[in-house]
Structure 1
Amino acid sequence: MDALRIHVCGATDDNTVTAEFMTLLQQVAEASPSDLPTALFVVPNTYSDFDEYWNWTRICDDLLVQMGYEGLLQLATFHPRYEFEGEDESDMSHFTNRSPFPMLHIIREQDIEDALKQVRNPDRIPERNRQHMRRIGHNGLLAVMPALADTAVFAGRTNHTEASDN
């Protein structure tokens, strides 16, 4: 975690945000994995709308490929209003990919491969994570991370009771 880079992009326009993302992507790709194993690219002033964010992440995926980093790096997506297609709007599964601000996690594929070797049935990880979030519910999540209550992750939620968790 000491080597994790968190880049907060304060820009509000697509071109600047995307240019800063490309710079960080290149820095991670060209750095030694021991010096810069992973990075978070946080955009607190843009992409509050999930659909706009999602469209931008598709552009970022395309840029990763165009820059020649496919097979070396991959992106994980996080947003305060993240929702998995086909899931009920109130389902806790969405919280596996929610964060206080829109962000991308730049991950080295080798690190993922190494981690997956340590996990039984790695193809089941996403479903296990969703089931775990459903088990702990809103109150359980807030017990572990109480600061989330005052973020966009819980914006618009007035009732955090266990009854609303189901």
Structure 2
Amino acid sequence: MEYLKKTREWVRNFVIALNLCPFAAVPFRKDQIRIVLEESRDPEELADTLLRELDHLLRTDPKAVETTLIVHPNVLTDFLDYNDFLGVAEDILEEAGLNGILQLASFHPDYQFAGTPHDDPANYTNRSPFPMLHLLREESISKAVDNFPDPDRIPEVNVERLRTMTIAQIRQCWTKQEQ
């Protein structure tokens, strides 16, 4: 389960340590982040896993599982293919009637915002060691945002923070061992 361990380290040593998501520390500390490995090479199997995990999140008390990361290191490794699949994933949410209940965030090793060079540190706000889909509860997001000063500045602050670092420093955060 090396993928799961590395994903957990990335959440702890990058996302939380750099405060890229100010809402991640509490569910991480309470072990409420479910990390699921999808080892298939087939996008349809990933779509099936997405459906199962959406259902699991809906059926599970948020005190037990607040959010889910689906790590899929063998499928959609090309960022353009992954980006195309996000439309499919959004359609799955809509067809399941889950818009406004659950939402999807995306992370990929080659994530690149439109209009940025590939090596822009800003892209690391959505880069991860492996392709993954992040399932979030809308209600939880609303509560967290309501109690956070100026949440609209979070992406801008993250970009500013990462642009003060070198790519080597950023990647080093990913590889720190849990203590």
| TM beyond 0.5 | yes
Q: Which runs of 5+ in 1 are unaligned?
A: 149-166
Q: Counterpart in 1 of 2:93?
A: 64
Q: Counterpart in 2 of 1:114?
A: 143
Say which of 133, 137, 145 aligns to 1:104: 133
**1:31-42 mapped onto 2 (5 Å cutoff):** 31-42=60-71
> Whose relative contact order is higher, 1 or 2, with alpha carbons under 8 Å and at least 6 apart?
2
CA-CA distance at 1:13 after TM superposition? 1.0
CA-CA distance at 1:27 after TM superposition? 0.8
Q: 1:29–1:69: 8 Å Cα contact kept in structure 2?
A: no
Cα distance 1:140–1:118, how it changes in 2: closer, same or farther (>3 A)?
farther
CA-CA distance at 1:147 after TM superposition? 5.1
Q: Counterpart in 1 of 2:152?
A: 123
What's the secondary structure of 1:94's corresponding residue?
helix
What's the secondary structure of 1:145's corresponding residue?
helix
CA-CA distance at 1:143 after TM superposition? 4.2
The answer to whether residue 174 in structure 2 is matched with residue 145 in structure 1 is: yes
Q: 1:73–1:107: 8 Å Cα contact kept in structure 2?
A: yes
Q: Counterpart in 1 of 2:53?
A: 24
AA aligned to 1:33 is P
Q: Distance in 2 between matches of 1:112 and 1:134?
A: 26
Q: Distance in 2 between matches of 1:95 and 1:109?
A: 24
* Greater CA drift, 138-147 or 1-10: 138-147
Cα distance 1:48–1:92, how it changes in 2: closer, same or farther (>3 A)?
same
Q: What's the CA shift string for 1:53-80, capped at 9, x where partnerless?
A: 0111111111111101111110110000
What's the secondary structure of 1:18's corresponding residue?
helix
What's the secondary structure of 2:111's corresponding residue?
coil
AA aligned to 1:112 is I
* Aligned-pair identity (%): 34
Q: Counterpart in 1 of 2:122?
A: 93
AA aligned to 1:86 is G
The answer to whether residue 66 in structure 2 is matched with residue 76 in structure 1 is: no
Q: Distance in 2 between matches of 1:141 and 1:14?
A: 29
Q: Distance in 2 between matches of 1:99 and 1:142?
A: 10
Q: 1:38–1:108: 8 Å Cα contact kept in structure 2?
A: yes
Question: Which 4+ runs in 1 deviate beyond 4 A?
Answer: none
Q: Counterpart in 2 of 1:13?
A: 42
Whichever of the two has the greater Rg, that structure is 1
Q: 1:72–1:108: 8 Å Cα contact kept in structure 2?
A: yes
